Structure 1
Amino acid sequence: MEIFGSTFDDSVFVAARDRLSASIPSYRAKLCEPRWFCKDTDTEDTTERQKTLKFRADLAFRRRQYESALRDYTACLSFIPDGNLSVRRDVLEGAARCCCHLGRREQALDTTEKLRAEASNTCHLTCVLQLELSIHQRFGDLRGQISALQRLCSLHPFNPWYWFKLASGSQSLLESSPQAGREAEVGGDEQRKENGELWLKACVGFVRSRLLFGILRIQQSSFVLLSSEKAMQDSDQALRNLKPTERSLEIISEVMAEDLIPEKMREDNQDGESLAGLSIKNFEERWWDKLTSAGLMEKEPGTFKMSQGTDSV
């Protein structure tokens, strides 16, 4: 007895065999000369013109011919289709970096703002913030660096290097600000308040980075582990220089360790997540307000105390 469906009529497969025997048109790959894009072409194909300008700009940037690269990046923008956002982001970033190298800070930041407005996921926003950070670094703007790093810490709260850089930037700005004498008298209470905030941000960043490096080191090895251990040592030394009291250090550590739960750290991985509907608590709401409400304040750099008598040490 035959099982139902176990036999087939050969005629069912005839059409398939006929289709397979049909001739397939040959494919000829396009051959391009080396640096073909360096030659000017009068083609009406907008895609071809976009590629030519983009590749030529990239080559000029690599050669550090930033004026020429910026000119081609700018021209390239008008040939990019509206839907090709990845190429548009790449071109805008190249233009921003050219402006940075040419000393055109405001133009570079304006281009970065265009990228920020078009960011659609956390990876895009991270790239924009890192670009903004590099621009501020190029022009030695410590306040701009701190602002960008605060947003990076809010977006990636479990990245120890962002916290370490935030702390280092705050410490550098604190060390360069008026501390005492006639210079401090000019700013008065406002300068002392700013110094207090910088001191606290430095302490917070070094404590948080040290906690994160300690958690992540069990997963690390080789040069990555060495880098983490070096950063932990630098954080310890920086905290000794900042001289928080034991009670101040205890409060900072307690607040900054609240969300450092392995399960939560895995769940909070936002790489590539859409920004639509994504709730990112800002730096003040997530950490800063808790610390300031605890009464952490400073009087003088190097002799920081808890305000309102809350520090018993």
Structure 2
Amino acid sequence: MRLKPEQLARHLEQGLAPVYLFAGDEPLQLMEAADAVRAAARTRGYTEREVFTADRSFDWSALTAASDSLSLFAERRILELRLPTGKPGTQGAKALEAYCLRLPEDTLLLVHAGKLEKSAANSKWVKSLEQAGVMIQVWPLSLAETAGWIARRLRSRGLVPDEPAVRLLAERVEGNLLAAAQEVEKLALLRGEGSLDADGVLEAVSDAARYTIYDLADAALAGDSARAVHVLNGLRGEGVDAVLILWALSREVRSLTDIAEQMEAGTPAAQAMKSVWAKRAPLVKKALARHRAPAWRALLALCARTDRVIKGQAPGSPWDELLQLTIGLAGRPLFGRPASRPAP
């Protein structure tokens, strides 16, 4: 069975298929479709997850062994198979066809194929996966389709856009849905719920105020997401080096990680915070109240990734990563980035 991304939610309400094949070359739609399936699986008791990447050295017997071993356990499990080239090869094709002929119980298989060439799309292994479960295939959107997608996304965040506002955003992102999603999230933070026109979009994305990297750190520590985004956009518009911004944020994250770990080990808060300036203590206390030690360690790992992106050692946009880090530090992560609140 083939489904469009917008049909997936209704399908998941009715139940889970044993196999899902995700194909196409629009990253955000693929990511969100896979996230939706994983979330639905978790609510149905799929508590374990094992991921395989089928590169040139991959041993396909590992997938077969993993599926065969599940009968020994009571837990339901998700098996995820990533095909970097979109082709499993002769051995892999046979392994996938065999899997579909003998579907293991309490097992969900997610296959990420990326963009499929025409020959692969018509291959026996693809048809086997499609017949055994569901194939989600996505394509880049046209400008008109992007505008419709943005309008729906804005409405889902409580904003009521007019046509010029939607058209302006669609032209700004040039078909990049990940960038469009980022813009929608920023508008939701900065504008809140309600009507949105083109002037509102321009006001949100263009800020002439001058800020410092310390203003950014303070706003994030205070949990003021809207101001933090304003400051970050202002710094970018003024040409401030991304390295300096990361330095300011990572310094705070390292310090707070150390304090949180001391408190986790039983050190009294006052003693753990003895190196914090009295003037900054209220901000630090607010930040510590939002995150526990594991979340601070996750944010520290995000700092390391952002550093690699800035240096060109990892894929991605430095400014997108800095936005994720800023919002995560403020307690409002985008797309499920690390952050956690203490249990009440």
TM range, smaller chain = under 0.3
- TM-score after normalising by structure 2: 0.24
Between Structure 1 and Structure 2, whose CA radius of gyration is higher? 1
Between structures 1 and 2, the one with greater strand share: 2
Between structures 1 and 2, the one with greater helix share: 1
